[in-house]
Copies of this chain bind each other. A is one copy, B any other.
Amino acid sequence: MKDIFITENFLLQNDRAVELYHRFARDLPIIDYHCHLPPRQIAEDHRFANLAQIWLSGDHYKWRAMRWAGVAERYCTGDATDWEKFEKWAEVVPKTLRNPLYHWTHLELKRPLGISDRLLDPRTARGIWEQCNAVLAREDMSCRGILRQMKVVLVCTTDDPLDSLEQHAAIAADPAFKTRVLPTFRPDRALAIDAVETFNGYVDRLAEVGRVDIGEALARFLDALRRRHDVFHAAGCRLSDHGLETVDAVQGTALEAAGIFARVRRGKRPSPEEVARFRSAMLHEMALWDHERGWTQQFHIGALRNNNTRMFRQLGADAGFDSIADGACARGLSQFLDRLDRTNQLAKTILYNLHPANNEVLAAMIGNFQDGSLPGKLQLGSGWWFLDQKDGMEKQINCLSNLGLLSCFVGMTTDSRSLLSYTRHEYFRRVLCNLLGADMHQGLVPDDVELVGGMVRDICHGNAERYFGFDLP
């Protein structure tokens, strides 16, 4: 069977690139330190009924492309059958040429689904559907089977502080399953004070879980959150994560935050200024916990969410109606990081950027706080969401190279909701090796494959292994 698109040397444009990838990158295990896999699927070792279930259900990237191509909502999120949805997707695939979906689709069909002799289109749809469904029925194609095949040694899911972590405990309790699955502390809802009722409901549930009376006291709210932070730590968590539209140039104090919290608890709607002050004070406070525990804090900056009100009412969040925010963030970031650094309490930090024009702003910013305590203490995160594609990855890698040290980069993470996304690590590794191979070919770096290959190995695995402080086998 001949590979017709995703060949052995896909993306590798010269012999140095080929050597770097196959000798240094291809076989490395995967540390997926940030993703959105549902821990329950792994705990239950879920199996997928068909290709639509594993591939289309919940994938807002594909829905968005289908809507763009003129496909009705019924075939995206509606009541069409799984086969009908897949058939529509197969019609759209040839229309995604040059979009990352075209590459991802065929990468995933090849690995782990085993189809690489055909392109997906309406003519091949039925055959691929049947063959993949048969593959998905195999013993080794459960959630855990897929993780094993893809050599994933560690997965960090993304979890609300309220999460019981029982799924994580169940997974950890099985000695036969070697992949570590750890939680990540993502307290977005503890910051979202602008939605007063939702926020108060959240505080009330936290009070219940923590068996405390929070009332109007920010100190007790923080204390309850902090205890969840401890619980997460005990479960092996070593990262936090925050989604921010921008970073306000506002430094809220604990005192201000306490006043705002009390008023919101009494049902008062906060002003935009108060929302920003509260958020900045909370972020500062929680950053101290991360530093104390030796965690890494992550910030996903620049998503403008839920732009389409009509569809938000119909489908809720994360359904393909999010976008890229613009606006300045340099000063806010500088103040936030500096405030922590002043007292020597700045934790390891990863900044993920969604607006490509900001790459250089963020790459230069992190250089201000590298303090020599470890390599790449602050990181420019890999290309994310809309930028998780060849061009976005190349821009992130080039920007980091030009303004900082690529050699210290902790590399790729899927940030995905799908078990099939693990080929994105392969994709990233090919992109990286291709860039470096081209540099060697052009004399921009020395033509020394051991030197460059060592860097590849570090970026694709070694740096992450050393940086996060996981307790890996």
Contact residues in B for A307 (Cβ distance below 8 Å) = 334, 337-338, 365, 368-369
Contact residues in B for A344 (Cβ distance below 8 Å) = 310
- Kindly supply a per-residue 1/0 record for chain A positions 3-15, scoring 1 wherever the CB is within 8 Å of any chain B CB and 0 otherwise: 0110101110100
The answer on a CB contact under 8 Å between B401 and A98 is yes
Q: Give Cα A371 to B70, complex, Å.
A: 7
Q: Give Cα A325 to B329, complex, Å.
A: 9
Interface pick from A224-232, A252-260, A372-380:
A372-380
Contact residues in B for A99 (Cβ distance below 8 Å) = 401-406
Q: Give Cα A415 to B191, complex, Å.
A: 44
Contact with A341, one of B66, B72, B309, B451 (Cβ below 8 angstroms): B309
The answer on a CB contact under 8 Å between A404 and B342 is no
Q: A338-B307, A365-B323, A445-B98 are in contact. Are A376 and B451 (CB under 8 A)?
A: no
In the complex, whether A324 has a CB less than 8 A from a CB of chain B is: yes
In the complex, whether A326 has a CB less than 8 A from a CB of chain B is: yes
The answer on a CB contact under 8 Å between B5 and A446 is yes
The answer on a CB contact under 8 Å between A408 and B330 is no
CB-nearest residue of chain B to A96: B405
Q: Identify which of A96, A97, A102, A375 gathers the most chain B CB atoms within 10 Å of its CB.
A: A97
In the complex, whether A358 has a CB less than 8 A from a CB of chain B is: yes
The distance from the CB of A392 to the nearest CB of chain B, in whole angstroms, is 7
The answer on a CB contact under 8 Å between B406 and A308 is no
Contact residues in B for A369 (Cβ distance below 8 Å) = 307-308
In the complex, whether A30 has a CB less than 8 A from a CB of chain B is: no
Q: Give Cα A69 to B372, complex, Å.
A: 7
In the complex, whether A286 has a CB less than 8 A from a CB of chain B is: no
Q: Give Cα A330 to B96, complex, Å.
A: 25
The answer on a CB contact under 8 Å between A98 and B330 is no
- Kindly supply a per-residue 1/0 record for chain A positions 328-352, scoring 1 wherever the CB is within 8 Å of any chain B CB and 0 otherwise: 1111001001100110100000000
Interface size for A (C-beta < 8 A) is: 96
Contact with A11, one of B5, B371, B443 (Cβ below 8 angstroms): B443
Contact residues in B for A102 (Cβ distance below 8 Å) = 445
Contact residues in B for A71 (Cβ distance below 8 Å) = 372
Contact residues in B for A374 (Cβ distance below 8 Å) = 70
Q: Identify which of A69, A72, A100, A377 gathers the most chain B CB atoms within 10 Å of its CB.
A: A69
In the complex, whether A386 has a CB less than 8 A from a CB of chain B is: yes
The answer on a CB contact under 8 Å between B446 and A367 is no
In the complex, whether A25 has a CB less than 8 A from a CB of chain B is: no
The answer on a CB contact under 8 Å between B98 and A68 is no
In the complex, whether A364 has a CB less than 8 A from a CB of chain B is: yes
Contact residues in B for A355 (Cβ distance below 8 Å) = 360-361
In the complex, whether A57 has a CB less than 8 A from a CB of chain B is: no
In the complex, whether A455 has a CB less than 8 A from a CB of chain B is: yes
Which residues, 68 to 85 on A, are CB-close (under 8 Å) to B? 68-73, 76
Q: Identify which of A322, A328, A371, A372 gathers the most chain B CB atoms within 10 Å of its CB.
A: A372
In the complex, whether A208 has a CB less than 8 A from a CB of chain B is: no
The answer on a CB contact under 8 Å between A321 and B391 is no
A residues near B (Cβ < 8 Å) are 4-5, 7, 9-11, 13, 64-73, 76, 94-100, 102-103, 119, 304, 307-310, 320-331, 334, 337-338, 341-342, 344, 355-358, 360-361, 364-365, 367-377, 386-387, 389-392, 398, 401-408, 436, 439, 442-446, 448, 451-452, 455
The 4 closest A-B pairs by CB, nearest first: A98-B401, A357-B357, A70-B375, A307-B368
